[in-house]
Structure 1
Amino acid sequence: MSDGKEWYMEYEIHKNRPGLLGEVSSLLGVLGINILTINGVDHERRGLLVKSQNDGQMKQFLAAIEKMETIHLTKVRQPTLGDRLAVRHGRYIERDTGDRKTFRFSRDEIGLLVDFMAELFKMPAHLLLGIRGLPRVGKSESIIAASVSANKRWQFISSTLLKQTIRTRLSEDERSHDQIFVIDGAVSQRSGSESHWNLIRELMRLPVTKVIEHPDLFIKGTEFSMDTFDYIIELRSHREEKITNEMTTAPCFSWHYFNS
């Protein structure tokens, strides 16, 4: 027997009334379409992950749902990572419309951020992630939590999480492809020696997953650019916070935040 095909569906509610969800669920059940997950993804929208045994079942469902005046089906597609997380958490990840590889989170969405990064860490491709945000907003803690969730080990190459860390070498057992390597771009730029940067360049060439905090500072004066990154994550204390950063002439890095 076929395992079937998963679909993501989303509909807008034009007129909410008791029993509406039951009608949609009943229709799916009558057609033999299994509901995997269902949740609200906005005040007026509901998202579903379903599985059909064949495309004919979905065609029947779409034909029937068009006749319902209380809802309007807006999305039917193979589920993306964002769709799965939206149904799981009840909200969509905010994505930069101008730079589609940039994803934005606020501190009250730490759970969503951890799930997002964990799913990226599980991918067979070894990705390079950059994460921006105010000091102590939760960047390093989110990386660790996502690593645990993805059942991966993590190695700090540079960090100030507990005390300043500047690594210049790794043992053979620390070079496993099943680890997440974490680099604080501000610390590396400020305090990194040539041997530290040689290690970073070696890691950048290896097929391993790397997460770089303060990516804009990390690339300054290096051969790397923002195009090097597969994903950019921005973590804010609150939605209205705007992030800019620059390397000052002072002996440390200064982050400047402006509220709109």
Structure 2
Amino acid sequence: METEKQDWYLEYEIHKNRPGLLGDVASLLGMLSINIVTINGVESLNGKINRRRGMLVQTDDAKKIELLGSVLEKVENITLRKLRQPTIIDRLAVRHGRYIERDAEDKKTFRFVREEIGMLVDFMAEIFKRDGHQLVGVRGMPRVGKTESTVAACVSANKRWTFISSTLLRQTVRNQLTIDEMSGQHIYMIDGIVSTMRSTEKHVTLVREILRMPYTKVVEHPDIFVRETEYDLTDFDYIIELRNHPDEEITYENIETGFSGFDIP
């Protein structure tokens, strides 16, 4: 029976980019029968020459990866930075040529600006492809692209999106789901302001039921949601922040208990 091939992430830093260096690394991979799936420069800064290379490679033998690592550590002019099974962050770094900004203290918080929406959509799509319970919080000011990015990620992940509460087109407050809407093929989208400040008891009951379901849920304005409910930010698996520009402050100064025009067009 043929062993299934696995992906691995390889990243190294170049100290002296001599001619043929990449070819030498590729030749080494070839000799070990390790396939290169994708390669890209990673984290180019300020238009300077990129000194890091990221690769997704594939092999059916983990021992070959161990051997690859030991050989690369002895190669002059490069430093091996990462050699591991790829995370979502690794895959997107190779695809987009840079790492997603991640909070230094809260590792589950990821930051994007509007010009990075393509990367954000890819990131969320990778999350949505996973099975089981996942709770994703999305922070951002009005009309920055929170809902649109989530819907685009659903399309990319081949999932259906179901608005439980929303202000995208008109105020939506659902009180029940149909049988067809209760499956892992759906991504449940909840507006934390609408669900806690403009809803009925039936809606609140439905939200609690959905949060217990073993599927993916996305909550916009998670800070308001946890402020007004029994849930906590520690219940979230991912917190995504989307800004118009890096220095924009995400605030909720216009929100008053019981009513808000925060996200109404």
**CA RMSD of the aligned region, Å?**
2.1
Aligned letter for 1:19?
G
Q: What is residue 233 of structure 2 aligned with on the other side?
A: 226
1:190/1:253 contact within 8 Å kept: no
Cα gap change, 1:38 to 1:195, in 2 (>3 Å): same
Match of 2:190 among 161, 176, 183: 183
In the alignment, the residues of structure 1 paired with residue 18 and residue 242 of structure 2 have an alpha-carbon distance, to the nearest angstrom, of 37
Percent of residue pairs bearing the same amino acid type? 58
Q: Give the equivalent residue in structure 2 for 1:252.
A: 260
Give yes or no for contact 1:118–1:146 (8 Å, CA) kept in 2.
yes
Give 3-state SS (helix, strand or coil) of 1:92's partner: coil
Distance 1:196 1:39 in 2: 47
Distance in 2, matches of 1:172 and 1:33, equals: 46
Q: Which residue of 1 aligns with 2:110?
A: 103
Structure-2-length-normalised TM-score: 0.88
Shift of 1:249: 6.3
User: Which residue of 2 is the match for residue 120 of structure 1?
Assistant: 127
Mapping for residues 121-200 of structure 1, pairs under 5 Å: 121-200=128-207
Specify whether residues 20 and 205 from structure 1 end up closer, same or farther in structure 2 by C-alpha distance, changes over 3 A only.
same
| TM-score, with length taken from structure 1 | 0.89
Kept after mapping to 1: 8 A contact 2:187/2:217:
yes
Q: Map Cα deviations across residues 169-192 of structure 1 (whole Å, 9 max, x no partner).
A: 222222233211111112223311
Paired with 1:220 and 1:234, the residues of 2 have a C-alpha distance of 18
Alignment check: 8 A CA contact 1:186 1:253 kept: no
Residue of structure 2 in register with 1:48 after alignment: 55
Unpaired runs of 5+ residues, structure 1, are: 256-260
Higher strand share: 1
- Equivalent position to 2:69, from 53, 56, 62: 62
* Structure 1: distance between partners of 2:57 and 2:145: 34
* 1:35 and 2:36 aligned: yes
Measured in 2, the distance between the counterparts of 1:202 and 1:53 equals 42
Q: What per-residue deviation string (whole Å, max 9, x for no partner) do you get for residues 62-109 of structure 1?
A: 343234322111111121121112112211111112111111111122
Closer, same or farther: CA 181–53 of 1 in aligned 2, 3 Å: closer
When the two structures are aligned, how many residues end up with a matched partner? 255
- Which structure 2 segments of 5+ residues have no match? 45-50
- Asked whether the 8 Å contact 2:165–2:189 carries over to 1, the reply is yes
Does structure 2 retain, via aligned residues, the 8 Å contact 1:248–1:254?
no
Please name the residue that 1:25 is paired with. 26
Letter in 1 for 2:224: L
